[in-house]
Amino acid sequence: MTGQGRTVRGATALALGGAVAIGAMTAIQARVNGQLGVRIGNGILAGFVSFAVGLVLLCVPVLLTRSGRAGLGRLWTGIRTRRAPWWMLVGGACGALTVSTQGLVAGVLGVALFTVGVVAGQTLHGLLLDRFGFGPAGVVAITPGRLLGGLFALIAVGVSLGGDVLARAPLWMLLLPFLTGAGIAFQSAVNGRLGQRIASPLAATFMSFVGGVVVLALAAGASMLFRGGPAPFPLSLPGDGWLYLGGLLGAAYILLGVVIVARTGVLLMGLGAVLGQLVVSVLIDLVWPPAAGPAAWQVALMVAAAVASVLVALPWRRRGRGAGSSGAERISAAER
């Protein structure tokens, strides 16, 4: 293998490790936001609080650093000149769906069962988004390995629905995580494209949080208007500091996703995140059992299927024969 080939493979492996870290942070965020939703009795309001905390934290590097302000300036120029079209700016709406769903159902289903629904949405939509070139990596071919990886991920979902899970949790609770997974795949793609267009992952992440806060403020206001809510707000919010870590985790993994999605493609980043999500979610549910989680045998099969989905989808390449094979060893953007 040439030095260039080793460098590309190493960069892809590092990016995949970052995707696993994204999944781990997502799993922790799901349980934190889920518990916040349970404590205040309003999952949408919990999502708004989480996003607002993340936005406040992001203001520090964006406004107080030269690179952050420069990125913000390029973002505004891109919006004003329409070089950054409107569809690149709606990633925050998908993030709003994610944290709202976490607040509504993760505290009841548990993180493991919540995650497998997300897996299905990420897998199917990651394949489609890559195939049509929606992400920053461009058109990514649907190889047999990617299809098999998606199949293993869906097997994990099928296993999760076995036993008496459906008897203990309403169907709508199981459908919402699927929609969340689809939103995560779309958010990764558009945030990556925006970060690439304005040459600033930080400004793209900031834009995502601004959009999410606006959407969630409207949704939370409507929810409290029609359903009622904590009164008086925000004095009724719980005082436990750890319940507000979801915003910090969200800012960290969205920024990381913007950076690495151009290297991995939407599907491969999603599969790496799935691996991190499932492993960490299982550990969380073992320590903190949910009200309607899957049985132990289901958890074991789910994790095995998720690991297999990542391994078979990796861009493996055989070692070439001699110096003349260096071109075949390179991993092009369309193959990642």
State the first-to-last Cα distance of the chain, in angstroms, to the nearest integer: 18
Confidence class for position 69, pLDDT limits 50, 70, 90? very high
Q: What is the pLDDT of residue 210?
A: 93
How far apart, in whole angstroms, are the C-alpha atoms of residue 183 and residue 177?
Answer: 10
Tell me what the mean pLDDT of segment 316-335 comes to.
39
How far apart, in whole angstroms, are the C-alpha atoms of residue 279 and residue 305?
Answer: 12
Least confident of 39-48, 141-150, 181-190, 191-200: 141-150
- Report pLDDT digits (tens) over 41-52: 888 888 898 889
Q: By the 8 A CB rule, do 181 and 267 touch?
A: no
Q: What are phi and psi of 140, to 5 degrees?
A: -115, 120
70: burial class by Cβ within 10 Å (0-12, 13-18, 19+)? middle
Interhelix angle for 171-198 vs 201-227, to 10°? 150
- Whether residue 232 is preceded by a cis peptide bond, meaning omega within 30 degrees of 0, is yes
| C-alpha distance from residue 220 to each of 36, 95, 172, 215, 223 (Å) | 14, 14, 20, 9, 5
Tell me what the mean pLDDT of segment 87-109 comes to.
80
| Nearest C-alpha neighbor of 254 from the set 292, 217, 211 | 211
- Report pLDDT digits (tens) over 111-148: 767 777 777 777 777 777 887 777 666 777 777 877 77
Q: By the 8 A CB rule, do 83 and 197 touch?
A: yes
